[in-house]
Amino acid sequence: GDSVTQMEGPVTLSEEAFLTINCTYTATGYPSLFWYVQYPGEGLQLLLKATKADDKGSNKGFEATYRKETTSFHLEKGSVQVSDSAVYFCALSVISGGYNKLIFGAGTRLAVHP
Amino acid sequence: NAGVTQTPKFRILKIGQSMTLQCTQDMNHNYMYWYRQDPGMGLKLIYYSVGAGITDKGEVPNGYNVSRSTTEDFPLRLELAAPSQTSVYFCASKRGIADTQYFGPGTRLTVL
């Protein structure tokens, strides 16, 4: 079935370090792909998305490219800040059972220290 | 705009008690969703609605009920609370089938 696999956390980085969080997916058809971020005590917020192969989503210095050949959507940021500390969820959207369904990965916790 | 609001923020229930988690959105969205998030896990869909008067089950509906009498409100009912229902519950909404989901801040529920 459709699924999303993310790298396990926590990921601990120093401020200004380079970030990669790996995400791969399994899906029939052509899903849209998303990264959501959850700051402590808050709900999920959409960070970026890509709706077709080779699309690059970007926001707040984060970016991810939809790679159909490797079924991946890795999240990257060139220089992280302490304020980026949060849990990051990769997700895909498919039509399943007659409705549009979001399937989430388990989440990756990022901790950035000064 | 308030977006998606949820009440309460926190609740502790005893086994067998019932409660309703409230969700309201002011964006005139057609689609609404309830998810649960267990520790270290992604979100699992409990129920969803494609419009007022229409609801359907998601992946993990057992032990829950929903109703959608208005476009704005989508309450989630737990009839006989069990420890397995200890979780954080998120409500979400979106306008159309291809649009982005917007999430509420969540309700943390503990069943003892």
CA angle at B95 for the pair A95 and A106, rounded to the nearest 5°: 55
- Give me the residue label for tokens 């997700």: A91
Of B43, B102, B105, which is closest to A42 when you measure between CB atoms?
A: B105
How does residue A98 score in pLDDT terms, banded at 50, 70 and 90?
A: low
pLDDT tens by residue, B64-82:
999 999 999 999 999 999 9
In angstroms, the first-to-last Cα distance of chain A is 41
CA distances from B72 to A63, B35, B51, B93 (A): 33, 17, 10, 10
Residues 51-70, chain B, touching A (beta carbon < 8 A): 56, 58
Residues in chain B predicted with pLDDT less than 70, given as ranges, are 1
